[in-house]
Amino acid sequence: MRFTRRSVLKFSGLTAILVALLPRVAFAARNSLRTVRTGNQPAGKTRLVIETSARPSYSLSYPTNQLVVTLSNTAANAQLAPAMATGTLITAITQVQSGDTLQIIADLAKPIDEIPRDNIMLLNPNGDNEYRLVLDFAAGSGTARATTATAATAPAKKTTPAHKYVIVLDAGHGGKDPGCIGKGGTQEKTVVLSVAKKLKTKLDAAGFKTYLTRSDDTYLKLAYRASIGEKKHADLFLSLHANANPSRAMQGFSIYTLSEKASDEEAAKLADAENAADKIDVSGFEQFDKDIRIALSSLQQHAVAAMSVEYANGAASAFKRAKITQQPGPDVRHAPFAVLRSTVPGALIELGHLSNAAEEKLLKSSAHQDKLVAAIVKSVQAYNFDV
C-alpha cells in the first residue's frame, strides 16, 4: 500500500487557515505559484491566467466539469486568493500539492472541450508580471449543466502603469532604400520616419518607454531591426510602412502580422516587396541567433502570434474609428515579414498608399500624420499588455 500525502488548499478563509497548519512541503521547488486570475474574453470565452516565478512545465486534463492544470516542480501558494471575474465559466479554483507537483483545479459551470494549442499562451515576464500560462476556452459540446455555484468575486488586479511597457517603433526602409515612391515624389522612408518620430513623442508622453529602430535616414537590415525589439525586451514592435499598388485607384491602410504562410496572394506579394529591402531568404530562420530560433520553434511563437493578432485587430478598429480609409479586405492579414520575426508581439502597419495621388498628399501632410499617430496611440493604450 502506498500513501500519497496531499495537502489541499481551498481558496476560502477557513481552508486557508487549515493550510497554514499543514506541514511545510519537504522539497525545494524550482517554481512557485504567484497568482491565479480569471477573466472574460470576446465571444464568451473564459481566460484563466496562472502566473509563476519561473517558466512553467505543465499539462492539462479534463475531468468532468473541471479543468486541471498540472505544474511540475512547483510549490503551492497558501496565501493566494485568486482574482475571480464574474461571468466566467470558472466557479472555483483549488490548489492541490502532491509531492513536487501542483495541480490547479478549476471547477467549471459548463463542460468544455480540449483547449486548442492556439488558445494556450505562455508569456515571458513583462511589467509587474512574471511568467504566465494563459488559457482561453469556451463552453464545449458536452451537455450544459445548470449553474448552481456562484462565482466568487475579488477585486480585479490593479492595472500595471503603462510606463513599464516598452514599445519599439520601426520606420521602414531608409538610406539607400527609399521604399515606395509616390507620383509626386514622396518617399516611403521619409513619411514613415516622420510618423515614427511623432508617435514616439506621443507614446512617451502617454507613459510608455519607446525606442526607434532608426531616427534618421539610415539603411538597416531587417533582422537587425527585429533584434532591437529583442534587445530592448519590447512588449510590442510596430513596423511602419506605406504601400504602393499597380492600381493607382487603390487606397487605404492595412495591418499585417507574421505568419510563415501568407493569408492571401496580395499579402504574399507585399511581404516579398518589403523583404526585398535586404534580399532576405524568407524560407529560413538562419539569420537568427540560436536562442531566438529555439524560442520561435516553441510554444512561445503561438503566444506571440496570438498577441500580435490581438493587437492588430485592435489597431484596425482604432483606425476605422478615426475614419481613416481602409484598404478593402480583411482587418488583419498575415504574411512572412522578416522584420516581424522575433519573440516580440507586433504588427506591420501600411499607413496608406503612396501610389494613390490623394493619399500621397494626405500621407505627407502633418495633419493626417497626426491623425494616424493618434489612432496608433489609442491602439497601443487599448492593447492588453497585462494578460
Part in contact with Zn ion (CB under 5 A); list of ranges 41-49, 101-109, 173-181, 376-384: 173-181
**CB of residue 313 vs Zn ion: minimum separation in angstroms?**
22
Q: Which is nearer to Zn ion, 241 or 364 (CB)?
A: 241
Q: Which is nearer to Zn ion, 103 or 275 (CB)?
A: 275
DSSP character at residue 336: -
Q: Which is nearer to Zn ion, 156 or 276 (CB)?
A: 276
Tell me the helices (H) and strands (E) count for the chain, helix number first.
Answer: 8, 16
Which of positions 198-217 make contact with Zn ion (CB under 5 A)?
Answer: none
Part in contact with Zn ion (CB under 5 A); list of ranges 157-165, 196-204, 267-275, 370-378: 267-275
Q: Please give the full DSSP string across 292-320, using - where no structure is assigned.
A: HHHHHHSTHHHHHHHHHHHHHHHHHHHHH
179 binds Zn ion (CB under 5 A): yes
Q: Do residues 237 and 340 touch, judged by C-beta distance below 8 A?
A: yes
**CB of residue 364 vs Zn ion: minimum separation in angstroms?**
16
List alpha helices for 206-299, DSSP H: 222-231, 265-275, 290-297
Task: Give the residue from 254, 255, 179, 182 showing the smallest Cα distance to 219.
Answer: 179
Query: How far, in Å, are 83, 85, 203 from residue 155 at the CA level?
Result: 6, 8, 29
Report how far residue 284's alpha carbon sits from residue 150's, in angstroms, rounded to the nearest whole number.
51
Size of the site for Zn ion (CB under 5 A): 4
Q: Which is nearer to Zn ion, 274 or 310 (CB)?
A: 274
Q: Which is nearer to Zn ion, 51 or 274 (CB)?
A: 274
**CB of residue 176 vs Zn ion: minimum separation in angstroms?**
14
336 binds Zn ion (CB under 5 A): no
DSSP character at residue 218: -
Part in contact with Zn ion (CB under 5 A); list of ranges 14-22, 82-90, 94-102, 165-173: 165-173
Part in contact with Zn ion (CB under 5 A); list of ranges 1-9, 55-63, 176-184, 320-328: 176-184
Residue number with the shortest CB distance to Zn ion? 241
User: Which residues 6+ apart lie within 8 Å of 48 measured at CB?
Assistant: 36, 37, 38, 67, 69, 90, 106, 134, 135, 137
Report how far residue 276's alpha carbon sits from residue 268's, in angstroms, rounded to the nearest whole number.
12
**CB of residue 368 vs Zn ion: minimum separation in angstroms?**
18
**CB of residue 148 vs Zn ion: minimum separation in angstroms?**
57
Part in contact with Zn ion (CB under 5 A); list of ranges 83-91, 99-107, 234-242, 258-266: 234-242
**CB of residue 345 vs Zn ion: minimum separation in angstroms?**
20
Q: Is 35 exposed, middle or buried (0-12, 13-18, 19+ CB in 10 A)?
A: middle
Choice from 56, 82, 172, 346 touching Zn ion (CB under 5 A): 172
The count of other CB atoms within 10 Å of the CB of residue 250 is 16
Part in contact with Zn ion (CB under 5 A); list of ranges 108-116, 152-160, 175-183, 341-349: 175-183
Q: First-to-last CA distance in the chain?
A: 44
182 binds Zn ion (CB under 5 A): no
Residue type, 295: A
Q: Which is nearer to Zn ion, 19 or 238 (CB)?
A: 238
241 binds Zn ion (CB under 5 A): yes
Part in contact with Zn ion (CB under 5 A); list of ranges 35-43, 268-276, 291-299, 365-373: 268-276
**CB of residue 172 vs Zn ion: minimum separation in angstroms?**
4
The region that residue 187 occupies, defined by phi over 0 for left and psi between -120 and 50 for alpha, beta otherwise, is: beta
**CB of residue 359 vs Zn ion: minimum separation in angstroms?**
15
Q: Which is nearer to Zn ion, 324 or 349 (CB)?
A: 349
- Using alpha carbons only, how large is the chain's radius of gyration in Å? 24
293 phi, psi to nearest 5 deg: -65, -40
Angle between helices 357-364 and 188-205 (to 10 degrees): 40
56 binds Zn ion (CB under 5 A): no
Report how far residue 221's alpha carbon sits from residue 174's, in angstroms, rounded to the nearest whole number.
10
Interface residues with Zn ion (CB under 5 A) are 172, 179, 241, 274
